[in-house]
Structure 1
Amino acid sequence: MNSTPHRPTAGTDPAPRQDTASLVVLVTGASSGIGEATARRLAAAGHRVVLGARRADRIAAVAADIEAAGGSADHHVLDVTDPKSVLAFAAAARARHGRIDVLVNNAGLMALAPLDAVRTDEWDRMIDVNVRGVLHGIAAVLPQMRAQGSGHVVNVASVAGLRVDPTAAVYCATKYAVRAISEGLRQESREVRVTVVSPGFTRSELAEGSGDEAAREAVRAGMEIAIPAEAVAGAIAYAVGRPPEVDVNEIVVRPTAQG
């Protein structure tokens, strides 16, 4: 018997074959930043994307760009803090495409300030968007995914879910929660894949969410080393593109220069 290990022919890819079927992908917070970049990236890969965000004019423009480039994109006004809005978003996707294969729970809010600033309205808003919004998304798609026997939930967290920094206590708490919810869903699932993507400094509008001027300036300074949103979109596309039996559970993507 020949014991020589198999060596791929030059120019071939020895990586496992991916499932290249067109998937129906819902993306929240798709009007800018990571959400927009992800929608564009996945549409370019041949998937049918459904964009959701509050800014109707902006998601309409992004969807039009995707269609003009030969991709498939629908768009719906979406408020992730409103469970009825999220259910309607998912229902519209099912009505149009007959199924939901992937949810990218991307919508998020970062409002940084010291706790003694007592910005309780910002605390509530972050909890509503970053935690309840993720739960509303899961609730809207999980029954469909269970019924069809497959699906993939991608939750965008943050490196803030791995550490706690001054002025970021509540924001970090919400991102820790996203990771906890994701791990719970993963352990409860056998048909549904679950991925947490935790970006570091990424160029987006997220830096402008803080009402505290000093905190906002500190985030802007950090943007000097920020990676483009497309880098995070690439990580999401990687996880989505794995074969159905492969579940990429967690990806951390940060600038090389970030400490």
Structure 2
Amino acid sequence: MSTVKGKVIIITGASSGIGAATALKFAGEGAKVVLAARREERLIQLKQKIEQEGGEAVIKVTDVTSYEDMQELATFTIKTYGQVDVMFNNAGLMPLSFMDKLKVDEWDRMIDVNVKGVLYGIAAVLPYMQQRDSGHIITTSSVAGHGVFPSGTVYCGTKFAARIFMEGLSKELAQTNIKTTSISPGVVETELADFITDQDIKPKFEDPNLPSITGEDIANAVYYAVSQPASVAVNEVIIRPTNQG
């Protein structure tokens, strides 16, 4: 019997990539999935696919950079399913650029999505989880949250922040039954590279020989963390291609 059957999981950034793959994985295992992203058409298509495969999902168009939207997402989930078992803060942007390109608008956007979006996700569900003394908050960090590289200075900073939020929250919740997990993927086949506008960086990610793994690989890692018994917390997972340096 699936250990996640009947659990309610919110997934931000669910319209593509890791989010969509995780939604399909959990729905296939009997979880009730709340799909959140800005692109409604994509969410509808994913919901239909899940239902065609016998799963259950609802959608909520959500901008993670809006605290009000994130609060509404949590409220919608409670009204629909009565509880929130898992919050997967997965929405993220990766417009890499060298700092002397001064792409300040892109810096601002990364901070809004990758940093504030995670904080707003935590704030939206934590009161419900504390009330029940049960729940699991998961955030997509990155191997970029463990070390900085040229062109990734701002992006790495946001992913360091996301990872530290999970570590700090874990310490604050140590005497409760609420779990936290930071998932740090390496290069994954997603749309993230599509946001790169720095032409000194973009060709690297168009290399067909670039080592990468799939969104399904990350979904399996998320599932592993959530499917552990109540006495076990998987606080951090680093997962990357075997031959990624």
SS of alignment partner, residue 39 of structure 1: helix
1:11 aligned partner: none
Matching residue within 174, 178, 186 for 1:200: 186
Q: Per-residue CA shift, 1:78-124, capped at 9, x if unaligned?
A: 10000111111111110000000000000000011111111110000
Unaligned runs of 5+ in 1: 1-16
1:148: how far off? 1.0
**Residue correspondences, number:** 243
Alignment TM-score, normalising by the size of structure 2: 0.96
Would the aligned equivalents of 2:4 and 2:26 in 1 still touch at CA under 8 Å? no
CA distance in 2, matches of 1:210, 1:19: 39
Would the aligned equivalents of 2:2 and 2:30 in 1 still touch at CA under 8 Å? no
CA distance in 1, matches of 2:2, 2:118: 27
CA distance in 1, matches of 2:199, 2:9: 37
Matching residue within 127, 133, 155 for 2:117: 133
Matching residue within 20, 36, 42 for 1:58: 42
Cα 1:109–1:223 shift into 2, 3 Å:
farther
CA distance in 1, matches of 2:125, 2:88: 11
SS of alignment partner, residue 214 of structure 1: coil
Unaligned runs of 5+ in 2: none
2:138 aligned partner: 154
CA distance in 2, matches of 1:237, 1:229: 12
SS of alignment partner, residue 45 of structure 2: helix
Q: Per-residue CA shift, 1:133-155, capped at 9, x if unaligned?
A: 00000000000000111000010
CA distance in 2, matches of 1:215, 1:222: 15
SS of alignment partner, residue 221 of structure 1: coil
Would the aligned equivalents of 2:9 and 2:31 in 1 still touch at CA under 8 Å? yes
Would the aligned equivalents of 1:194 and 1:249 in 2 still touch at CA under 8 Å? yes
- The alignment-based identity, stated in percent, is 45
Would the aligned equivalents of 1:130 and 1:178 in 2 still touch at CA under 8 Å? yes
Alignment TM-score, normalising by the size of structure 1: 0.91
Matching residue within 72, 76, 92 for 2:56: 72
CA distance in 2, matches of 1:206, 1:133: 16
1:221: how far off? 2.5
Matching residue within 7, 13, 19 for 1:29: 13
Instruction: Report the AA paired with residue 79 of structure 1.
Output: D
Matching residue within 218, 228, 238 for 1:242: 228
CA distance in 1, matches of 2:237, 2:21: 17
1:112 aligned partner: 96
Matching residue within 30, 33, 41 for 1:49: 33
CA distance in 2, matches of 1:55, 1:18: 30
Structure number with larger C-alpha Rg: 1
Would the aligned equivalents of 1:202 and 1:223 in 2 still touch at CA under 8 Å? no
CA distance in 2, matches of 1:182, 1:20: 22
Q: Per-residue CA shift, 1:56-94, capped at 9, x if unaligned?
A: 000111011101111010011010000111111111110
